[in-house]
Structure 1
């Protein structure tokens, strides 16, 4: 995905949302170009061809991609008409940003969700920290840090990532029903959402199985929730990540339930493969957003503030060697053996994190130009 492709979708959303005579719905059957995040190979090439140490100008190709993507995230979150996404197939990266901030998210038995950016030296962006803060307990941080994949509809619904479930083979009929439904536009879009709900219920699949994520919730919360308050506890992000690993190790060694031990072992193995600086950035960012959302008001309690912060994080992380190395190992050479720098959490300096999180100069920060509210 390049900036032109995102801009085309961005313009389409504005056109739909500004027309007064259309049915008050935008159905987004997330295109392949958006499903698995941006074209990280292209972003890597932009950063290698035009390297930067200081914050790049907004016309730098790396900056341009994130400027466009993050404006799109705000457009979705603030869309004045109901925004509906059909999230089937691979649902990752910008596919999440392009849909999860909307009103309705239909998942199917073929949906595969993940935010795996910590495995490529980036961090889970597109406002996922804001979504994560509103998921049950510490599930949002758990999914963001580990990149765990969710494919069971009962897990997607339990986590609140999905709002409705339909069979994949029923999607053409669902689209037809939505197109021909007698929808009308209201100043209060909740009234139109009620009309949509009538249509959606005709295709809603019952939840047949128990959610594995629900069963793991107490364990997830016990390991990850304290990290959301790490600064108040006098811990740095790397120290809090060590605390998570220690709690997981204790469960793996002492818990008498096989499912609990397997959860701990799998999670430890996942964390050990990820970029250390990415995990530290993720935890610090998600914890700050969580605090503002739950105790606010603060700049990160609203999506606009989150995206401004994430823009600074994204362009700075893409300018680091870890991003180029992570993408190389994942999708260029595909050796799955990245060499991270620093290689260990203990080698991360607090001043390096402070620099990544520092405010950007006004002429280089995210320029928001989203839908008129």
Structure 2
């Protein structure tokens, strides 16, 4: 119990509550305890008139490298898929609370932020990145799909950049995150202590005032010349295609014309990823373009429950084995090819689970929300 309680640290300064994710050896991967603790804290602080702002950050070299999926797979391997479902139910509820939060949340993304770490931060009001930030949604390489509300925030990136990021699992740095809208501010890491101190002293929940405080320390970084973000025309041409097969063909065609590292890497990632994951990920992001955050999370919950039951494909377990457990990086996907993943198989992931006692994701009642939160619903 002592080791669990140290996984989330709380610092109280003036009207600010600083929450520190504290599993540095695990790159602050979200354990079940951490998810439950964060949800309790966010709900508690929202009702506490003495709290005006939440500051969220990670210890060590990561903000948060994602959810602790290895623990989820371990539970499922014991025949307990419902335990995994409960983990994602809590995590997605946390994502919804953050997306609809009445008080400003400032996330300091000074390091690795992937998967579940994105869910705990991207939905918040302020996302501060640095020269140390590395972002990715690598789920298709694990036999999963970009979840934690990613179908909402990826689908709202410029053009079809979200499809590119979600399908390939490509890594973005701080300047790229700022350019595409995943981050709100870029602040050099050496300025973070001063920024945090001024946020403590702000004594305000006014997002306009808080933005001005952050802007005092923010800079406009250069996006590197060879960044894929500088090739939005090519990305839109390829990733706007209707099907994964057409996307892959378009990327192959472009890779044959140019020597750009990003297009070659994109092609390799698409060929290595789970075919099933690629197809359900594309469909999820496309549906997310027309849905609010609540609908996105409910749909993603149905999808993740179907993934964990493994009745259509067991790629999630194979991906975790190859990448996280045995680490041979040689997953054997089943089905092994895109053409073997039928439309009917894809559709099954978007249906509720036909199992006694299973229910759709339900969110806690939210009181009067600010306009920014209402716009997401």
TM-score range, shorter-chain basis?
Answer: 0.7 to 0.9
| Conserved 8 A contact 1:34-1:94 | no
Q: Which residue of 2 aligns with 1:310?
A: 300
Q: Which residue of 1 aligns with 2:74?
A: 45
Q: Which residue of 2 aligns with 1:367?
A: 362
**Cα displacement string for residues 307-330 of structure 1 (whole angstroms, at most 9, x for unaligned residues):** 110001112112222111110111
Q: Which residue of 2 aligns with 1:136?
A: 158
Distance verdict in 2 for CA 1:214–1:5, change over 3 Å: closer
Q: Which residue of 1 aligns with 2:219?
A: 205
| Conserved 8 A contact 1:82-1:193 | yes
1:241 to 221, 241, 244: 244
Q: Which residue of 2 aligns with 1:26?
A: 54
| Conserved 8 A contact 2:176-2:223 | no
User: Aligned with 1:106: secondary structure?
Assistant: strand
| Conserved 8 A contact 2:65-2:112 | yes
What is the deviation of 1:124? Answer: 0.6
User: 43-52 or 124-133, which moves further after superposition?
Assistant: 43-52
Distance verdict in 2 for CA 1:209–1:365, change over 3 Å: closer
User: Aligned with 1:91: secondary structure?
Assistant: strand
User: Aligned with 1:217: secondary structure?
Assistant: helix
Whole-angstrom distance in 2 between the partners of 1:336 and 1:210: 29
What is the deviation of 1:51? Answer: 5.2
What is the deviation of 1:370? Answer: 5.5
TM-score in terms of structure 2 length: 0.84
Where do 1:103-142 residues align within 5 Å? 103-142=125-164
What is the deviation of 1:34? Answer: 6.7
Where do 1:41-80 residues align within 5 Å? 41-50=70-79, 60-80=82-102
Unaligned runs of 5+ in 2: 1-29, 369-377
Work out the number of aligned pairs and report it. 332
Q: Which has the higher contact order (CA 8 A, sep 6+)?
A: 1
Unaligned runs of 5+ in 1: 53-59, 186-191, 231-239, 293-300
| Conserved 8 A contact 2:298-2:361 | yes
Which of the pair is proportionally richer in helix? 1
**Cα displacement string for residues 246-290 of structure 1 (whole angstroms, at most 9, x for unaligned residues):** 1112212235xx43xx33322111111101101111011111112
Q: Which residue of 1 aligns with 2:25?
A: none
1:149 to 154, 165, 171: 171
Distance verdict in 2 for CA 1:363–1:34, change over 3 Å: farther
User: 14-23 or 40-49, which moves further after superposition?
Assistant: 14-23
Whole-angstrom distance in 2 between the partners of 1:197 and 1:51: 45
| Conserved 8 A contact 2:305-2:353 | no
2:329 to 313, 323, 336: 336
> What is the CA RMSD across the aligned residues, in angstroms?
1.8
Matched, 1:16 2:45: yes
Whole-angstrom distance in 2 between the partners of 1:358 and 1:344: 23
| Conserved 8 A contact 2:149-2:296 | yes
Which of the pair is proportionally richer in strand? 2
2:64 to 35, 44, 52: 35
Matched, 1:215 2:215: no
Whole-angstrom distance in 2 between the partners of 1:215 and 1:208: 11
| Conserved 8 A contact 1:3-1:64 | no
Whole-angstrom distance in 2 between the partners of 1:171 and 1:360: 45
Distance verdict in 2 for CA 1:93–1:364, change over 3 Å: same
Whole-angstrom distance in 1 between the partners of 2:335 and 2:315: 9
| Conserved 8 A contact 1:112-1:150 | yes
Whole-angstrom distance in 2 between the partners of 1:344 and 1:263: 23
What is the deviation of 1:14? Answer: 1.0
Q: Which residue of 2 aligns with 1:345?
A: 338
Where do 1:314-325 residues align within 5 Å? 314-320=304-310, 321-325=314-318
| Conserved 8 A contact 1:308-1:366 | yes
Whole-angstrom distance in 2 between the partners of 1:65 and 1:368: 14
Q: Which residue of 1 aligns with 2:26?
A: none
Matched, 1:161 2:182: yes
| Conserved 8 A contact 1:75-1:370 | no
